[in-house]
Amino acid sequence: MNTTRIGFIGTGVMGGSMAGRLLDAGYPLFVYTRTREKSQPLLERGAAWRDSPGAVAADSTVLITMVGYPSDVEEVYLGPDGVLAKAHKGCLLIDMTTSRPDLARRIAREAARKSCMAIDAPVSGGDTGARNGTLSIMAGGDEQSFTRALPVLQHLGTNIVFQGGPGAGQYCKMCNQIAIAATMVGVCESLAYAEAAGLEPRRVLESISRGAAGSWSLSNLAPRILDGDFTPGFFVKHFIKDMGIALESADALGLPLPGLMLAKDLYEKLAAKGLGDAGTQGLYRLYKDTD
C-alpha cells in the first residue's frame, strides 16, 4: 500500500470518480463532503470518513479539493475548521476546483505561511475523463510543489501541464472554458439547423465531426444531445459560474469578450428554465423547447 496519505474533499460527479482512482492506486484515503451519502461508495471501498475539512487535513500528507464554487474553496481552506487551520507542516494542497486566480494566489500565500505547499490544478474532461483518468490538468504554483504533486496527478490525468506561478492553472482553465462556451453554442446551433433543414443529424455529425469543425464537444456531447441525454458530465450552473469568473478576470485585464458574454446569457436563460442541474449539452434545449 502507498504510504502517502491522501485527503479528498468534494466527492460529487467529478470528485467521486477521481477519489476512486486514488483508492484503486492503493493510497490510504480520507474523505469529507457536505453530503456524506455522496461518499458512501468510497467508504464501502475502504476510504475513511472525516467530519470536517480540518479533520481531513490533520490526517493527510497530500490533500485534494474538488468543490463547487470559489466561496466553497475559501471556506474549505481558510475557514476556522478549514484545511490551513489543521494541516501539518509540509502538507501538499492541491485545489482542482475551477476557481478564481486571485483566490488561488491567496491560498498559496497562506499555505507558505503555514509551511505547506499549494498548487491550483483545475481540470477538463468531464465525468468521462474523471472515470477513466484521462483528464487534462492545468497546474499553477511553484515547480517544486508541482513536481511533488505529479505522481498523484498522473493517476487522474494524461495531459498534465505546468502553466506557471500560483493562479496560472486557473487562468489556463478560464481559457479552456472560454473556448468551450463558444464551441457549445456552435454545436447546438449546428444540430438545430440540421434538423430544421430536414437532414438526418447523425449523418451530419458523421461528416462534420471529422472535418475542420471537429471538437471534443462535437464528438462527445453531440451524440448525447441526439440521444436526448442531458445528464451532467458538468453542470450548467457550474459552467455559468466559470464564465462569470472568466468575465470578471478579463475585465480586470481590460479585455472585452463579447462571445463569452453571449454564451453566458444563453446559459443563464437555460438555468432560468429550471435546467441548472443539466449537463452543458442541455443548451440544445433552448433551440427545441418553446415553452
- Strand locations in the chain (E): 6-9, 29-32, 48-49, 62-65, 92-95, 117-120, 123-124, 135-140, 157-164
- How far is the C-alpha of 157 from the C-alpha of 179, rounded, in Å? 20
Closest-CA residue to 145 (of 196, 206, 104, 178): 104
Are residues 13 and 47 located together in one domain of the fold?
yes
Q: How many domains does the chain have?
A: 2
Are residues 153 and 233 located together in one domain of the fold?
no
* Residue 1 resides in a domain: no
- How far is the C-alpha of 250 from the C-alpha of 231, rounded, in Å? 30
Three cell numbers written together for 220: 462527445
* Residue 147 resides in a domain: yes
Domain closes at, from 165, 180, 206 = 165
Tell me the CB-side half-sphere exposure of residue 65, using CA atoms within 13 A. Answer: 33
Give the CATH number, domain containing residue 223: 1.10.1040.10
Closest-CA residue to 130 (of 23, 282, 233): 233
Are residues 58 and 193 located together in one domain of the fold?
no
Are residues 126 and 214 located together in one domain of the fold?
no
Give the three-class secondary structure for 158: strand
Domain closes at, from 165, 186, 218 = 165
- Cell numbers 498523484 correspond to 152
Three cell numbers written together for 281: 449539452
Are residues 204 and 283 located together in one domain of the fold?
yes
Query: What residues are annotated to the active site?
Result: 173
Are residues 154 and 51 located together in one domain of the fold?
yes
Q: Check if the beta carbon of residue 195 is closer than 8 Å to that of residue 225.
A: no
Q: What is the pLDDT of residue 288?
A: 85
Closest-CA residue to 21 (of 130, 149, 103, 184): 130
Give the CATH number, domain containing residue 127: 3.40.50.720
Closest-CA residue to 279 (of 210, 192, 217): 217
* Residue 182 resides in a domain: yes
**Which residues constitute the domain of residue 216?**
171-288
Are residues 196 and 133 located together in one domain of the fold?
no
Report DSSP letters for 69-112, one per residue. Answer: SHHHHHHHHHSTTSHHHHPPTT-EEEE-S---HHHHHHHHHHHH
* Residue 24 resides in a domain: yes
What are the pLDDT tens digits along the chain (291 aa)?
568 999 999 999 899 999 999 999 999 999 999 999 999 999 999 999 999 999 999 999 999 999 999 999 999 999 999 999 999 999 999 999 999 999 999 999 999 999 999 999 999 998 899 999 999 999 999 999 999 999 999 999 999 999 999 999 999 999 999 999 999 999 999 999 999 999 999 999 999 999 999 999 999 999 999 999 999 988 999 999 999 999 999 999 999 999 999 999 999 999 999 999 999 999 999 998 754
Give the three-class secondary structure for 235: strand
Are residues 153 and 13 located together in one domain of the fold?
yes
- Tell me which amino acid residue 265 is: D
Are residues 142 and 223 located together in one domain of the fold?
no
Domain closes at, from 125, 147, 165 = 165
Three cell numbers written together for 45: 471501498
Q: Check if the beta carbon of residue 150 is closer than 8 Å to that of residue 160.
A: yes
Burial level of 135, CB count in 10 A (0-12/13-18/19+)? buried
Are residues 175 and 161 located together in one domain of the fold?
no
Closest-CA residue to 103 (of 115, 91, 111): 111
* Residue 132 resides in a domain: yes
Q: What is the pLDDT of residue 283?
A: 97
Are residues 191 and 254 located together in one domain of the fold?
yes
Whether the model clears a pTM of 0.85, i.e. scores above it, the answer is: yes
Q: What is the pLDDT of residue 1?
A: 52
Three cell numbers written together for 109: 500565500
What is the phi/psi pair of residue 177, to 5°? -70, -35
Chain centroid, CA 81 distance in Å: 24
Are residues 150 and 190 located together in one domain of the fold?
no
Three cell numbers written together for 254: 481590460
- How far is the C-alpha of 259 from the C-alpha of 278, rounded, in Å? 22
